[in-house]
A and B are shown apart, each in its own frame.
Chain A
Amino acid sequence: MPFGYVSPAQAMRDKAEYARQGIARGRSCVTLEYDGGILLMAPNPSSALHKISEIYDRIAFAAVGRYPEYENLRKAGITYADITGYQFDRHDVTARSLANYYAQNLGTIFTENLKPFEVEIVVAEVGDRPDGDQIYRISFDGSVTDEPGFVAFGGQADQVSAALKERYSADMSLTDAFGAALAALSTSGNGERNEIAANQLEVAILDRTRDHRAFRRIRAARLEELIRDSRPDSKTDQNTSPETPPSDASSGSAPVGDDGPSPPA
């Protein structure tokens, strides 16, 4: 319990600082739109414990921070979506209402709990057409932001976001979007590029064209293929969208280590 008197303003600031530090300790996660839907990517050494998950037919969830906390939120979100879809209809479940639900929940937790949740989550929904795609970011205090196009959150979010902004353009192909996301996540502070191996990556897409459930994980052979195809040096003639190559050639350094307060390896 707090020792002596702490002003409510100070207590809030302390909580916010605590949560921000917790989130900054881990790795970043990126979400971006491409021509066929939405791509979500995060470094994750574990193949069993996920940061990116399916919530509903066309809605995905991605989180950074403390695993038990965002895992709880993930399950609550799935419950909320399934109950709404069951009570009304599957088409009545939207990312917007889910984002508001998370905002309410996280806001209450931030205010009432002794320790806030050290999480930042993104809820993404793929539309029938590109202009129907939505990405919402909900932070630890319950504030919701609409993030059109792309978002990087958690870890060194500013750096990754800047790197992503350089490479992102609307209506990219999956390969190009993949390359942009991977490059942004691989960029470390001093501009070097640290390679992330396929088994250290968690990747999923919301595929607009799929029936019923749009969410699909990209793993194993398909993931290796995408990593290969998205390298700047393996560009084929069909690849027309501009892509800034990384500043150095790959140094072949070992993949960046573990994840801080995220899923144990």
Chain B
Amino acid sequence: MGSYFDGSQPGPFAGGQAGPGQMRDWASGWPVSFMDRQTSSFADFVASYSPDLLPGRGPGASVAPAAPAAPVTPAPAGGGPALRDLPHATTIVAATCHQGVVLAGDRRATAGSMIAKRDVEKVFRSDEFSAIAYSGTGSAGIEVVRLFQVELEHYEKMEGRPLSLEGKANRLAWMVRGNLAAAMQGFVVVPLFVGYDEEIGQGRIFSYDPLGGPYDEQRFHSIGSGSVFARGALKKLYADDMPVRDAVLACVQALYDAADDDSATGGPDLTRRIFPVVATVTADGFSKLSESESAQYAEQVVQERLSSPDGPAAPLHAAS
């Protein structure tokens, strides 16, 4: 990956010769130019100013780790024994609903066979009308989310208007691509991005693969180690244009089913009051359910499961 993103080459907007009005960093000798910005993209700027700040990169790493000369093959899952124990894996679900979209995630992070953390937050507000969640390596995911949040806000401040929803989805794809070198070493990050599209008045879902994207998803989607189970549950529970409350309940049911069958996904912890993080994005903007609101949904699901452990049954014959 010999692009300027990995820091091995100066980019089109890299700080070049210091001109009038540019500060010089006498210590290191290269110009530190915040002036005369050509692009309103924060991530582009960081790539030229200090690429080691980018996700998946360490201090002093200005060159990407040597990519294999052979065609790309995925690294052995989790890298070596030490790297395999970095916390990862999860289930995230997203579902569009009436005038909005719901994004929910479980709270567990596993390292090998151990539960590394019980109360991880994987669902974040990326800006007023969008939200992002990630699956994969925890620390790499947090970095990507953080960079993405700053990227969106930075653009809005520079330009005086927020990016379009597609613009945001594309920028995220670029960041996922930038993490590719780390992903090939096993530190994969795959986000799920949702937003309220003000132009069409609907919620939208964008998914990614380790190389980028975005893929426009209809109705609902799920990512992570438990996604196969969550998707199966949502297939039976989801209805088009559901009210927001119903969509939230469907997502919580789907997360419960994922936790039921995937050891890397955590179900609601009633003793410790740790519940799935649920966020909604509607015309009123981003909103995260409070702990008590989330608890209500989770407790309702658990209560019903006491009598029907497999959850609500779907009718065998579709209503005619």
Contact = CB atoms under 8 A, between A and B. Distances in A.
Interface of A: 48, 50, 53-55, 72-73, 75-80, 82-83, 85-87, 104-105, 108-109, 112-114, 117
Nearest to A113: B20
B158 A72 contact: no
A82 B23 contact: no
A53 B157 contact: yes
B36 A82 contact: no
Which 3 A-B pairs give the minimum distances between C-beta atoms? Answer: A76-B34, A79-B34, A76-B35
A86 B34 contact: no
B37 interface: yes
B4 interface: no
Contact of A79 (B37, B147, B160): B37
A86 B21 contact: no
A121 B42 CA distance: 24
B20 A82 contact: no
Given A86-B146, A104-B23, A105-B21, A50 B160 contact: yes
Given A73-B35, A75-B35, 10 more contacts: A76-B34, A76-B35, A78-B157, A78-B158, A82-B157, A83-B45, A83-B49, A85-B150, A105-B23, A112-B20
Contacts of B21: 72, 105, 108-109, 113, 117
Contacts, number: 58
B37 A82 contact: no
A219 B50 CA distance: 38
B154 interface: yes
Interface in B99-152: 146-147, 150
Given A75-B158, A105-B21, A112-B20, A82 B42 contact: yes
- Contact-size category for B: 20 to 34
Contacts of A83: 34, 45-46, 49-50
B34 A80 contact: yes
B152 to A, nearest CB: 11
Interface of B: 20-21, 23, 34-37, 42, 45-46, 49-50, 53, 146-147, 150, 153-154, 157-158, 160
Nearest to A215: B157
9 contacts: A55-B157, A72-B35, A75-B158, A76-B37, A78-B158, A79-B45, A79-B154, A83-B45, A87-B53
Contacts of A114: 20
B46 A86 contact: yes
B45 to A, nearest CB: 6
A54 B157 contact: yes
Contacts of B46: 83, 86
B308 to A, nearest CB: 41
Nearest to A75: B37
Contacts of B150: 82, 85-86
A258 B232 CA distance: 64
Nearest to B160: A50
Nearest to B49: A83
A108 B23 contact: yes
Contacts of A112: 20
Contacts of A117: 21
Contacts of A86: 42, 46, 53, 146-147, 150
Nearest to A55: B157
